[in-house]
């Protein structure tokens, strides 16, 4: 559908442009959060920044709209590019996740539902973790991440993160015994074999094991060889983080692992009230609803782990452009997403 098929939502477009124009990498969200506060104050909504920096705008708790303010680093010149068929906003965060953030904020002020803009999602979900400890569960949650205006995300894999540490005595490299670096490599090879991917099974249903950082070498005093290996394992809903950790520990030799964080997977029913509301609203907007499962992890995992209420994740934007150097959002998709979210809020 071209932009001509959607009515331009000037308020949503202006807010999104402002939000994208304010850099907000994780840990530096304050200025962007204050712009959101101004937006809600202009609509006579109660709003404040809480102690971790979340934008809190409580209202009708039959639905909580929430998305994250932070982005990954990256300087993409903010601009609007127009063509015969579409108008696109370019800039870091236009897709992940300021497009969803702006759409949810605009829909929230128009329908009177609760809203929270959270911080820290790209690193440790600090804002979402604080939120679930600081308030009771709402009746329903709509989490903001790019799904495409005609898609709704119902499932995310979880994540298990740890650091392998090994130390061995220093010695001549001609010796046959493993040193700490070899121990780290050997352990990780066994982990990869334990979770070898099946090409005939969906990635969403499998454990994906990835090393994210490795360091090693002779110690400063020259008496030992040291190695550290930071790892992430994505956990499908068919397994728990504890089960994955047990399997990884079961092939451990020559070192130990400090498991420092875990987030449970989640899979929501497409028949829950939020999923139903989105299917109806997308059809009413002229779309064919797509039900999605994401191989990554989002704040919805945090909410689902603590709050017993129906939820789903939604927002304009192509998630293939998350963190990409060519991140951009068709503004017609933003317009349609706001209309969908308003109908979902009214339904809930």
Alpha-carbon distance values, 203 to 182, 249, 316, 318 (Å): 29, 22, 24, 19
Q: Is the peptide bond before 6 cis (omega within 30 degrees of 0)?
A: no
Considering 29, 121, 122, 342, which one is annotated as catalytic? 121
* Residue in 235, 218, 220, 227 with CA at minimum distance from that of residue 163: 227
268 Cβ contact partners less than 8 Å away, ≥ 6 residues apart: 154, 155, 274, 275, 304, 310, 311, 312
Mode of pairing for the β-strands spanning 141-144 and 311-314: parallel
Q: Do 213 and 206 meet the contact criterion of CB atoms below 8 Å apart?
A: no
Name the CA dihedral angle for 71, 73, 77, 82, rounded to a multiple of 10 degrees.
-40
Q: Which two tokens stand for residue 102?
A: 């702006």
Question: Given 3-state DSSP classes, what are the helix, strand and coil percentages for the chain, each rounded to the nearest 5?
Answer: 35, 30, 40
Point out which residues pair with 161 in neighbouring strands: 232, 261
Give the length of the chain. 348
Cα–Cα dist 336/316, whole Å: 8
Q: Count the neighbouring beta carbons within 10 Å of the beta carbon of residue 242.
A: 13
**Is the bond preceding 2 in cis, omega lying within 30 degrees of 0?**
no
Q: Facing residues of 330 across strands? A: 88
121 part of the active site? yes
CA neighbor of 272 nearest in space, from 139, 111, 108, 133: 139
Q: Which residue has the tokens 């603590």?
A: 306
- Strand bridging mode 60-68 / 141-144: parallel
**Which of 3, 9, 29, 70 is labelled catalytic?**
70
**Which residues belong to the active site?**
70, 121
């Amino acid at each position: 559908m071209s932009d001509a098929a959607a009515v331009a939502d000037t308020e949503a477009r202006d807010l999104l442009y402002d939000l994208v124009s304010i850099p907000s990498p994780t840990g530096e969200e304050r200025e962007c959060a204050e712009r959101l506060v101004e937006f809600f104050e202009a609509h006579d909504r109660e709003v404040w920044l809480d102690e971790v920096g979340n934008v809190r705008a409580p209202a009708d708790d039959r639905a909580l709209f929430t998305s994250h303010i932070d982005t990954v680093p990256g300087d993409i010149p903010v601009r609007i590019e127009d063509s015969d068929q579409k108008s696109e906003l370019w800039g870091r965060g236009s897709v992940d996740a300021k497009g969803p953030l702006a759409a949810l904020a605009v829909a929230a002020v128009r329908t009177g539902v609760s809203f929270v803009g959270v911080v820290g999602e790209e690193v440790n979900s600090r804002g979402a973790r604080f939120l679930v400890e600081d308030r009771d569960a709402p009746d329903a949650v709509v989490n903001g991440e790019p799904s495409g205006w005609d898609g709704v995300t119902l499932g995310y894999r979880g994540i298990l993160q740890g650091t392998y540490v090994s130390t061995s005595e220093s010695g001549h490299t001609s010796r046959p015994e493993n040193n700490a670096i070899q121990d780290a490599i050997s352990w990780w090879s066994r982990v990869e074999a334990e979770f070898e991917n099946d090409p005939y099974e969906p990635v969403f249903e499998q454990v994906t094991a990835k090393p994210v950082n490795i360091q090693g070498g002779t110690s400063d005093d020259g008496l030992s060889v040291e190695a550290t290996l930071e790892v992430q394992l994505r956990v499908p809903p068919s397994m728990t983080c504890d089960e994955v950790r047990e399997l990884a520990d079961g092939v451990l030799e020559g070192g130990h692992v400090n498991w420092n964080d875990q987030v449970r997977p989640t899979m929501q029913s497409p028949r829950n009230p939020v999923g139903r509301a989105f299917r109806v609203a997308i059809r009413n907007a002229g779309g064919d609803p797509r039900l999605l499962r994401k191989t990554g992890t989002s704040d919805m995992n945090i909410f689902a782990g603590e709050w017993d209420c129906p939820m789903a994740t939604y927002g304009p934007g192509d998630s293939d452009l998350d963190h990409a150097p060519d991140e951009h959002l068709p503004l017609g998709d933003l317009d349609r997403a706001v209309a969908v979210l308003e109908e979902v809020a009214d339904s809930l």
